[in-house]
Amino acid sequence: MYDITCIGVVGTGTIGASWAAYYLARGFDVSATDPMPGAEAKLREAVRAHWSILTQMGLADGASPERLRFSGSLKEALQGVHFVQESGPEREDLKLALFRDMDALLPSHVILASSSSGLLMSKVQDACAHPERVVLGHPFNPPHMIPLVEVLGGALTSPETVERTMAFYAAIGKRPIHVRKEVPGHIANRLQAALWREAFHLVEQGVATVADVDTAIAYGPGLRWALMGPFLNMHLGGGEGGIRHMLDHLGGPIESWWDDLGTPRITEELKQQLAAGVADALEGRDGAALAPARDALLAGLIEAKKGTDKLP
C-alpha cells in the first residue's frame, strides 16, 4: 500500500468527529471539512472531549490534536490527503453529489471510504469516474473506541481496493470484517435491529419494562457477547458436542421462539412509551455521567481483550 500520512475526513458530525479524533490518536495528519456553520469549533471541541480516553487507550508516536486542519472548502481540505473517510449525511442524493466531487478532486489511487450505515456503494459509486476506489468503511459508534469496521465493495469496486482498505484498518488498530454481499444495514446494524425489534415488542406488549430489557441484556447475554459472538457462545453452550449438540437439542425450541417473535411498528405511542421507560430507568441518576462511565469501562474491556490470544 502506498504511504498514508494524511487522512481526509469529510463530514464532521458525531461520527466524522469521532473518526477524526481516532486518526489523530493514531499519529496521522487530519484534514477535515464540513459545510455546516460552526463545524470547525464543534469538531475541535469533540476532539478535545475524546482525547482523554484516547490517551488512556494509548497514543501513537507523534499523535497530537494540533495535527488537525479544517477548511470549509472541500477542494482545499482534500489537497494532499492519502485516504478519505466520508461521514456526510445519510441521504443518497447528497452522497452521490459528494462522491462525484471527491472523485473529481483526487488522484485515482486515493481510496474513498464511506461511513454510511445503510446506503449501498453500488449506487454511490455510479457518480464517480473511478468507481473502483469507492468502498464502504462503516464503523460502529463511537469510532474512536469501538474496533469494528465493516468493509464492503460495490459492484464496481476492485478487489484490490477492498484488500487495501482491510489492510489499512487492521494496521491502525481496527477490527475490519469483509461484508461479502450488499444488503441494507450491512451486518452489525441488522443484528442490532433484530434485537431492537424484539425489545420494542416485549415493552409494547407489557412483558417487560425498558429497564427490565436493558438489565436482561447488560447482565445476561451482553456480558458473553462482549467476549465472543453468538456462534462461539452457542458452541461453548453445547458442551463437548459443541454447536451441533446445542442445535440438535434446542433447534426445535429456537425455531418456536422465532415463530413467536413480534413485528412492532414504531408508532408515536410506542415512541412515547419507550421514552417514558428510559426516563423511569434514569430517575435519580446523572444522565450526563452515563457516556463517560461507559467509555471508561469499555476502554478497560478492549484493553483486556487485547491481552489474550485465546479468543478469536
Interacting residues of 33 by C-beta distance below 8 A, sequence separation 6+: 8, 9, 10, 11, 12, 70, 71, 72, 73, 74, 76, 77, 78
What is the CATH architecture of 188-306?
A: Orthogonal Bundle (1.10)
pLDDT of residue 312: 87
As a whole number of Å, the end-to-end CA separation of the chain is: 26
CATH 3.30.565.10 assigned to domain 6-178? The reply is no
> What pTM, to 2 d.p., does this model score?
0.93
Alpha carbon distance 22, 9 (integer Å): 11
- Name the pairing type of β-strands 111-114 and 148-153: unpaired
3-state secondary structure at position 195: helix
The domain ranges of the chain are: 6-178, 188-306
pLDDT of residue 60: 97
Is the pLDDT confidence value at 118 over 90?
Answer: no
- Name the pairing type of β-strands 148-153 and 134-139: antiparallel
Q: At what angle do helices 188-204 and 268-282 cross, to 10 degrees?
A: 90
Alpha carbon distance 12, 20 (integer Å): 8
pLDDT of residue 130: 98
Tell me whether residue 129 is exposed, middle or buried, using C-beta atoms within 10 angstroms of its C-beta: 0 to 12, 13 to 18, 19 or more.
Answer: exposed
Is the separation of the CB atoms in 119 and 87 below 8 Å?
A: no
Alpha carbon distance 98, 88 (integer Å): 8
Taking only the tens place, the pLDDT of each residue in 20-72 is 999 999 999 999 999 999 999 999 999 999 999 999 999 999 999 999 999 99
Alpha carbon distance 150, 221 (integer Å): 23
pLDDT of residue 43: 98
**Closest by CA position to 164, among listed 153, 154, 173, 180:** 153
Give the mean model confidence (pLDDT) for residues 229-257.
Answer: 95
Give the mean model confidence (pLDDT) for residues 185-209.
Answer: 96
- CB atoms closer than 10 angstroms to residue 238: 17
Sole residue written with cell 429497564: 211
Average pLDDT, the chain: 96
Is the pLDDT confidence value at 77 over 90?
Answer: yes
Taking only the tens place, the pLDDT of each residue in 270-288 is 999 999 999 999 999 998 9
| 142 preceded by a cis bond (ω within 30 of 0) | yes
Is the pLDDT confidence value at 102 over 80?
Answer: yes
Give the mean model confidence (pLDDT) for residues 224-249.
Answer: 95
pLDDT of residue 150: 98
pLDDT of residue 2: 62
Taking only the tens place, the pLDDT of each residue in 124-176 is 999 999 999 999 999 999 999 999 999 999 999 999 999 999 999 999 999 99
What is the percentage of the chain residues whose pLDDT exceeds 90?
95
Alpha carbon distance 50, 295 (integer Å): 10
Is the pLDDT confidence value at 1 over 70?
Answer: no
